[in-house]
Amino acid sequence: MKDTIAVVTGAAGGIGGAVAGTLAARGASVALLDRDAGRLEVVAKELREAGYRATAFPVDVTSSAQVDAVIEAVEERLGPVDRLVNAAGVLRTGRVGDLTDEDWQATFAVNTTGVFHVSRAVVRRMMPRRRGALVTIASNAAGTARMEMGAYAASKAAASMFTKCLGLESAAYGIRCNVVAPGSTDTPMLTSLWDDESAARASIEGVPEAFRVGIPLAKVARPQDVADAVLFLLSDEAAHITMHHLTVDGGAALGA
């Protein structure tokens, strides 16, 4: 990653923050993208104080115009983008009959359309340079049905297949596109669903009445576990890997 330019969406915290820190520690100059401008600047400052190169670029990935403008600004300020990680995401839970139109639209606006906006803006610029790699953070729910996660699972499945199609179209330009699919990960997105410590145990042990298998490795993932998988797929060690779907869930989806 030394001397590369990397863009990370959802970089204000959670998995996106871990990915940004990991890439910065490996020598990348990281453009941090998120709509939470205040938290984003805190993350950027922490990384700079650690001796890394990190710059905050507040943006709403649901806006095509904002995305195009911010990617242009990144390239003008930092240089040509070599790596992209689509980590921005939202979670709206509820049974399908209880989901509102706004729940559905907001979920897809960030998790799917946002991935499209950012990937398109970056890959358009990568193609003439005939190099680059991107990873989209999906979910093991993209391939395994989950109770009360219809909108989230569908949005992540769409983002996963979009990324693979993009990988097919851009392979001739030397651009690799892969997917990392986490399971339960200790982030604010997950813990916001927990009422008490029993919720963490339920994730590990499983919930039979919800047809949910537990986690065979008997632990919830750390954001760093996911970031390490992303780092591998962006690195030269994965130079012959594209359109791959790497699940990082401790076996919760039983290898699906």
Residues tagged active-site: 152
Q: Is the dihedral of CA 231, 219, 140, 159 positive or negative?
A: negative
Q: Are β-strands 132-137 and 83-86 bridged in parallel, bridged antiparallel, or unpaired? A: parallel
Which amino acid makes up residue 222? Answer: R
Mean confidence (pLDDT) of the chain: 94
**Sequence ranges of the domains in the chain:** 5-185+222-247
Which pLDDT does position 200 carry in this prediction? 67
Classified as helix, coil or strand, 34 is strand
pLDDT tens, residue by residue, 3-55: 899 999 999 989 999 999 999 999 999 999 999 999 999 999 999 999 999 99
Could you give the CA distance from residue 65 to residue 144 in angstroms, rounded to a whole number?
A: 34
* Fold annotation for 5-185+222-247: Rossmann fold (3.40.50)
Task: Give pLDDT, residue 1.
Answer: 85
Say what the pLDDT of residue 188 is: 73
Q: Which residue has the tokens 């209880």?
A: 98
How many angstroms separate the Cα of 103 from the Cα of each of 152, 188, 247? 10, 19, 26
What span, in angstroms and rounded, lies between the C-alpha atoms of 242 and 166? 10
Tens-digit pLDDT profile for residues 188-219: 776 665 566 666 677 788 888 888 899 999 99
